[in-house]
Every structure is written in C-alpha cells, then in structure tokens.
Amino acid sequence: MPLYTGNVFSGEKQKKKGLVRYLTISRLSDNYGKNPEERLWKADKYDLFDFWLPNIAPIGKNVNDFYQGKIDWNEFSKRYQSHLTSEQIFPFLLKLTREAIEYDLNDSYKGIVLQCVCPSHEHCHRKLLAERISDIARDRFNNDDLRIIHLK
C-alpha cells in the first residue's frame, strides 16, 4: 500500500479504509491559529486522527505568513523543507519512513495517511512531507517504490 496524504476532516473515511491517520499540524485550530477547531481538540467526540505529530508540522509563523500572503508557496516550501532537515525532526522522519515502507511492503497492512486541514494537497505541507519521506526511503533504505497517493 502507498503512503497517503489527506484532509483530516475525511478521517472517518480514512479509518474505514484501514489507514493509520497521522495529523501533522502544529495546532488544533484554523490556519491562522485564532479559532480552535472543536473537531480536532475534542478527540473523544470526533474520530478524525489516530496520532498527532505537531513536531513535524510547519512552524506556526510560517503557516500564518503564507495564509496572510506575506510569503509565497515557494518561500513557505523552502522554510518547511529546512525544518524537515533539522536534527530534532529527522528521527521522527526516519520512524515514519520505516513505517511507510513496512506498510507498503506488507499486503496485510492498509497504509498510513499524513493529514492536514488544507482541502487540497497542492499547496499543503503534507505533500512536501510525503515527498521527503519518499526521498528518505530511497536514500536511506534503498526503496524506490514508495508510492504517494493524495486522497481527495
């Protein structure tokens, strides 16, 4: 099975597919960090994600700057990719990469999905994160076959 990316608000559908759901946002609020998103912080009431990984999320200021138009997608991508190469983040990426490969190679597993609140993957960090995991799979584990599928 491939490495998936998807919107957290489709988490119930993702669970029905048997995917392990990783929420990769820094805070449980709207994109500006101003309004708490009840569906995310009331995990006992809503079942949208299995694990929350704020440490591999983009830095909140960069998210705000992007959504407020202070930086463009290229600059946001550069900053996030720099964040993903930091010494603090790399162990988490290795763990996710190993898990993605394990799920991809074993037919009894359904896969993992990297989630965010963005409606589309086109201008979302989850696309960049999935690509980084795919790069690590190739470079560290000699796995060129980790497929990425962006769920709608």
pLDDT means per 10 residues, the chain with 152 residues, are: 89 92 85 73 83 92 90 97 93 92 73 92 95 94 90 89
Output the 3-class SS for the chain. CCEEEEEHHHHHHHHHCCCEEEECCCCCECCCCCCECHHHHCCCCCCCCCEECHHHCCCHHHHHHHHCCCCCHHHHHHHHHHHHCCCCCHHHHHHHHHHHHHHHHCCCCCCEEEEECCCCCCCCHHHHHHHHHHHHHHHHHCCCCCCEEECC
Q: What is the pLDDT of residue 32?
A: 61
Q: What is the pLDDT of residue 64?
A: 86
Token pair for residue 25?
């946002």
Q: What is the pLDDT of residue 108?
A: 67
Q: How many residues does the chain have?
A: 152
Structural domain spans, the chain: 3-150
Q: What is the pLDDT of residue 132?
A: 95
* C-beta atoms surrounding 37 within 10 Å: 18
pTM: 0.90
